[in-house]
Structure 1
Amino acid sequence: MIRLPLAPRADWQDVARDMGFTFHHQDGQKYWEEAAYYRFTLDEVEQGIEAPSAELHQMCLALVEEAVGSEALMARLAIPDAMRDLVAASWRAGAPSLYGRFDFAFDGTGPAKLLEYNADTPTSIFETALFQWQWLEDRIAAGDLPADADQYNRLHDALRDRFAALFTPGSLVHFASDAAHVEDRQTVRYLEDVARQAKLDPAFVAVDRIGVDADGRFVDEEAVLIAALFKLYPWEDMLREPYARHLPGSATLFLEPAWKAILSNKGILPLLWQRHPGHPNLLPAAFADDPAGLASIGSRHVRKPLFSREGWDVELVAGADSAHGPAGGYGEEGHIVQAFAPLPVFGGLHAVVGSWIVGDDPVALSVREDDGPITRDLARYVPHAIVDEAGAAHPR
């Protein structure tokens, strides 16, 4: 894994516009970065990312199986008491999952270390599935990459096939997000298009325009029953909304399912470590109120709220590398403490590797980089390629 400079395509913003990639800059800052790319070998991808992702995902599913049968674990994960039966019932009914993303600290020289599992509402899916693939094709066509260069990226096809496996042709599937949030709306618009390619009938409804009919069922603005809903809205919030009392009787098939409230919770990190101590892809972790667990972690660590996203309220305690994420008011439900695994630094930039899961299969890779050691919401997206060059060596 190395970061190599490469002059941007002269027309990349025109390509982005034509493809609907409207958020390549956010708040005046560049989000898509193609003045460089990350080069991986096939072995790094297959053995370093893909294989561990498959194993970790199965470990996570086993944890869900255990948690839904344990009031103590549900409480530890801050699942509201009144919603625990809903979460458990979704698992026992086999409610399907669409996708998720592991985030790893990985530099190609040792085991990937799991930082967290974005199991419920991960974004950066459009730029992973489509735009970085277009970048690869353009670079090969221009001769900037060898003709046999590849990319670990079957995300688009996997999503289309997953939709087709979950629903019969012509099924009406609603998609919901914050209509005013550009990245969220474009992410959902992309998934609507994927569903359309799977021969489904997608319909958008703003998340704040979903209603409840006289029978307690969720409906859209036209009073059409929402039988299936992809929602870019996290379960930890849904379970605490006033309408949560309608969730158990709604009969709506949710993507992601309610049992993802367990896996999208950073409390799984100490629980996984307790069950698989010493696993090469896990970091020592403990709940912040567990003195015995904390004693084994050491002074260099990261303190994370159970429900924080994009670095919000994360505290990194590691000497000169210490840092604080943006303040977002997270942490009321509790914190975990995880051993510090430094992100690889290339040219002063900290890179985190994302590994995408569709259904139960690892299917793609993405890289984002930040100026600091905590990956925040404006961390830049950098494309990658698989190029096996025997003996090639480049300094970071």
Structure 2
Amino acid sequence: MRRVQGEARPGWQAIVEEQGLGFHRHVEQGEGRPYWDESVHYSFTLAEVEDLERVVEKLHDMCLRAVEHVVKNKRFAEYGIADWLHKPITKSWERRDPHVFGRFDLCYDGAGHAKLLEYNADTPTSLVEASVIQWFWKQATHPGCDQWNSIHEALIARWQKLNLAEVTFAYSRDEESGEDVMNVAYMADVAAQAGISTQVMQIEDIGWETGLQSFVDGQERVIGTLSKLYPWEWIVTDQFGPSAVEAQARTPWVEPLWKMLLSNKALLAILWELFPDHPNLLPAYLDGPRELASYVAKPLLGREGASMRIVTAAETVTTPGVYGAEGYVHQEFWPLPDMDGWRPVLGAWVVGDEPVGLGIRETRGLITDNTSSFVPHLIEG
């Protein structure tokens, strides 16, 4: 694994915008570089990529086993999940309501074991950059090289396997950068390529028809399958949250309700309990840091690096945010590798149950957030 300096293509901004990455102009940069930065890339050996694939496949299997454990042993309270949701989540899991994708965030330096930092299982973003933009960059600048990236093809195949006639894709108008609508529009496009009739709308415009006991779109047409880039933990607190949960028994949404047990960072403590000393996990606890001399306190439902606290012998670093009321998980602090003064987080994508690709975000600090730059990668040889 190497960090390689290069040159950005002249007019790269227009190129990536034409390919679908429009929101990068709206990302406020605190580190003096663009959100999409193709002046640098990471190079991996085939053996490293094959090892990462095996790791991600194993982690995904372990996560599904963790869901089974939580459901079987009724450990929902440790997630801070309200009592009224326990049975619907259980039923969603027992039905195996279909899932489409997720992203594991890993710490990896090419030498030691990859370590799981967290799992974005419900509303993962940076999909367009990982699937499309870096692939076209590779084709244009390094056509003889390969890339760990079959995300696009895997998504089409996954939607085909679900065998749905139509899907409504929704995002929130409150997300102002354009990132969410970009990701949703791309997912709608791959679903359309799979032969599904699609529409994209803002989740705030979805209505509830009392007579039909169904959610409807702006033309009062019944919405069956909804693919939402909007987290379940927000949906269930909404006025119509109970109706949304009840609807899952008839037509499950994507991602399914049972993914509340994977998108919540309590998962990290459950995994460590079930698979202690696993080389790809970090010690993590819900009741405090225990024996950990250095640790990260992460809010169970935190997002984009907000409301976190890193405690080491040298310093304590906190990030602003509004999360934490639901509780924290305390995970061993495992510093990201220093690569020329930058620290990469590897985002490994899973579609269905298969590892299918990689995206990389970089920061100079200890915590990756929504302004950290995305950089492409190649496989050597």
TM superposition score normalised by structure 2: 0.95
Deviations 1:25-81 (Å, cap 9, x if unpaired)?
A: 33453210111000111111111x11011011111101111212333x101011111
SS of 2:297 mapped into structure 1: strand
Whether contact under 8 Å (1:226, 1:252) holds in the other structure is no
Aligned residue number for residue 81 of structure 1: 83
Partners of 2:244 and 2:87 in 1: CA distance:
11
SS of 1:369 mapped into structure 2: strand
SS of 2:246 mapped into structure 1: coil
Aligned residue number for residue 63 of structure 1: 66
Partners of 1:128 and 1:258 in 2: CA distance:
25
1:361 and 2:363 matched? no
SS of 2:68 mapped into structure 1: helix
Aligned residue number for residue 293 of structure 2: 299
Q: Deviation of residue 322 (structure 1)?
A: 4.1
Partners of 2:114 and 2:245 in 1: CA distance:
38
Q: Deviation of residue 252 (structure 1)?
A: 3.1
Aligned residue number for residue 309 of structure 2: 315
SS of 2:4 mapped into structure 1: strand
1:212 and 2:208 matched? yes
Q: Letter of the 1:9 partner, please give it.
A: R
Does the C-alpha gap of structure 1 residues 342 and 61 become closer, same or farther in structure 2, counting only changes over 3 Å?
same
Alignment of structure 1 residues 317-336 onto 2, 5 Å: 317-320=311-314, 322-325=316-319, 327-336=320-329
SS of 1:259 mapped into structure 2: helix
Q: Deviation of residue 239 (structure 1)?
A: 1.6
Aligned residue number for residue 107 of structure 2: 105
Does the C-alpha gap of structure 1 residues 28 and 376 become closer, same or farther in structure 2, counting only changes over 3 Å?
closer
Partners of 1:104 and 1:341 in 2: CA distance:
11
Q: Deviation of residue 319 (structure 1)?
A: 3.7
Q: 1:38 aligns with which of 39, 42, 57?
A: 42
Runs (5+) with no aligned partner, structure 2: none
Partners of 1:370 and 1:320 in 2: CA distance:
20
Aligned residue number for residue 269 of structure 2: 270
Structure 1, 216-225 or 150-159: larger mean CA deviation: 216-225
Does the C-alpha gap of structure 1 residues 318 and 140 become closer, same or farther in structure 2, counting only changes over 3 Å?
same
SS of 2:257 mapped into structure 1: coil
1:158 and 2:151 matched? no
Aligned residue number for residue 140 of structure 2: 138
Does the C-alpha gap of structure 1 residues 321 and 139 become closer, same or farther in structure 2, counting only changes over 3 Å?
farther
Q: 2:221 aligns with which of 217, 221, 224?
A: 224
Whether contact under 8 Å (2:236, 2:245) holds in the other structure is no
SS of 1:164 mapped into structure 2: helix
SS of 2:285 mapped into structure 1: strand
Q: 2:333 aligns with which of 310, 329, 340?
A: 340
Q: Letter of the 2:255 partner, please give it.
A: E
Partners of 1:322 and 1:118 in 2: CA distance:
25
Partners of 1:138 and 1:86 in 2: CA distance:
48
Structure 1, 83-92 or 106-115: larger mean CA deviation: 83-92
SS of 2:350 mapped into structure 1: strand
Alignment of structure 1 residues 117-196 onto 2, 5 Å: 117-141=119-143, 147=144, 149-168=145-164, 171-179=165-173, 181=175, 182-196=178-192
Q: Letter of the 2:150 partner, please give it.
A: R
Does the C-alpha gap of structure 1 residues 310 and 248 become closer, same or farther in structure 2, counting only changes over 3 Å?
closer
Aligned residue number for residue 253 of structure 1: 252
Whether contact under 8 Å (2:20, 2:128) holds in the other structure is no
Whether contact under 8 Å (2:167, 2:197) holds in the other structure is yes
1:11 and 2:15 matched? no
Give the count of matched residue pairs: 372
Partners of 1:161 and 1:86 in 2: CA distance:
28
Q: Deviation of residue 248 (structure 1)?
A: 3.6
Partners of 1:319 and 1:370 in 2: CA distance:
22
Q: Deviation of residue 320 (structure 1)?
A: 4.1
Whether contact under 8 Å (1:80, 1:240) holds in the other structure is no
Q: Deviation of residue 87 (structure 1)?
A: 1.0
Q: 2:53 aligns with which of 50, 53, 56?
A: 50
SS of 1:242 mapped into structure 2: coil
Whether contact under 8 Å (2:158, 2:352) holds in the other structure is yes
SS of 2:362 mapped into structure 1: strand
SS of 2:142 mapped into structure 1: helix
Whether contact under 8 Å (1:80, 1:239) holds in the other structure is no
Q: Deviation of residue 321 (structure 1)?
A: 6.3
